[in-house]
Chain A
């Protein structure tokens, strides 16, 4: 086992306040991430959920400082284990990446190099950050490959990525992300490309490892089933913003934002929706995020839209329970709101 840098202090692994990303595009300035605030504690899983293009991946890349070069990020605060990591030198950042925080991508081949063996790549992931011998690195690699459910792990070290199936590659990726014993792991759609049974196995594994190693985890997905099962807390994103955040129970049992409620009504739920019954729908399309947008981003599709939704900046404000926040004028009108009567349950 490798030595682990002891960090003192709080349980807050990641704290991000008002993260913004801007990308110049031919039609103007794209603002795919707008004032996104997130926090993750040790041992906690935060799921970022939202539909394609809402800014989930760019949010995670901005945290890792891996945005495309033409993209610009700003934020009020970004702390890893209490220490500022925003605007620090690339050298210092790459020391943290893979060591204190690591990322698992949807497509394992974005992180695995086809030209090197599994053993080489796993070992390198550790040796880059820690002064360990080859034998120590090899032991750690075998230990983690076994942890992620790969049998005869020692024999796999000499194999190349293309010799493994998709599910195995994703397991190797997970092992690689864990080599240095990170405090934070960000997984962007880690199982979307996999078979249903393999997806369940990998997610089961991830949540076990996260608990065992007591890491903070940010899991990005658009699959509400996955979110419900794995998340402690959830951030629902729509068109570049977090529109609702709260515990898994709050989001699934008392969804408050009209977009969250719409999403939950769209999915067939075995045992709940009747076979062949019409599903809910969210008519309309996602607005363009080029340029400045006034009012609620969901206004063009919301069935409860009002005049006051169209102007100004709608804040993420407390909903019914502690820790539950919602970006909607209806949730902000205080206890007299109709939302308080609990009609929102899905």
Chain B
């Protein structure tokens, strides 16, 4: 129903905010199939907002990773899922629990506390939880650094000081 209503005026872009988050998997799969079919039939573009990485990987062609209000990394989906750059993106991908009974619960080594958004950390907003944190991360906010057709905001990839590699 909600999908039909969104399509009444023949839009070209449809924003789907957590299209399946509250749903059971059997309903989720029906919605995802429907969204895919409509995308093809009507030539739609979707902006999907989701915290379900399996759904994102299934649907997306491009992905922007957000943390505390900032896009910390953006690129095409293949690049993100095969070689995430930002430490938060890496932790996020590690946290995805694929249904594989031979694997356990991963230890992402992330700091525990999700910060209070009203009391934003200084410097890089992710620094209190980051496993690669460097002394200046808490002071200086990282700038957008371009690579390929994407970008990342993280001091690891700073030209001089950084120790991360952007080669994919």
Contact = CB atoms under 8 A, between A and B. Distances in A.
Nearest to A164: B113
Nearest to A232: B101
Interface stretch (B11-19, B30-38, B147-155, B157-165): B30-38
A270 B36 contact: no
Nearest to A200: B95
A233 to B, nearest CB: 11
Interface in A263-286: 263-271, 273, 275-282
B103 to A, nearest CB: 6
Contacts, number: 139
Given A150-B112, A279-B33, A200 B105 contact: yes
Interface stretch (B2-10, B53-61, B134-142): B53-61
Contact of B30 (A149, A226, A277, A281): A281
Interface string A169-197: 00100000000000000000000000111
A310 interface: no
Contacts of B107: 204
Contacts of A249: 101-102
Nearest to A196: B95
A264 B100 CA distance: 11
Interface residues of B, number: 43
B3 to A, nearest CB: 16
Nearest to A224: B99
Contact of B110 (A201, A223, A224, A248): A201
Nearest to A203: B105
A1 interface: no
B97 interface: yes
B29 interface: yes
Given A195-B114, A229-B104, A281-B33, 12 more contacts: A165-B114, A171-B112, A196-B51, A196-B96, A201-B110, A203-B97, A204-B108, A223-B97, A224-B99, A229-B97, A252-B99, A281-B30
19 contacts: A51-B24, A149-B112, A196-B51, A196-B52, A196-B95, A197-B110, A200-B97, A201-B112, A228-B97, A228-B100, A229-B104, A231-B101, A263-B26, A266-B29, A267-B54, A273-B58, A276-B36, A280-B29, A282-B26
Interface of A: 51-52, 149-151, 165-168, 171, 195-201, 203-204, 207, 222-231, 248-249, 251-253, 262-271, 273, 275-282
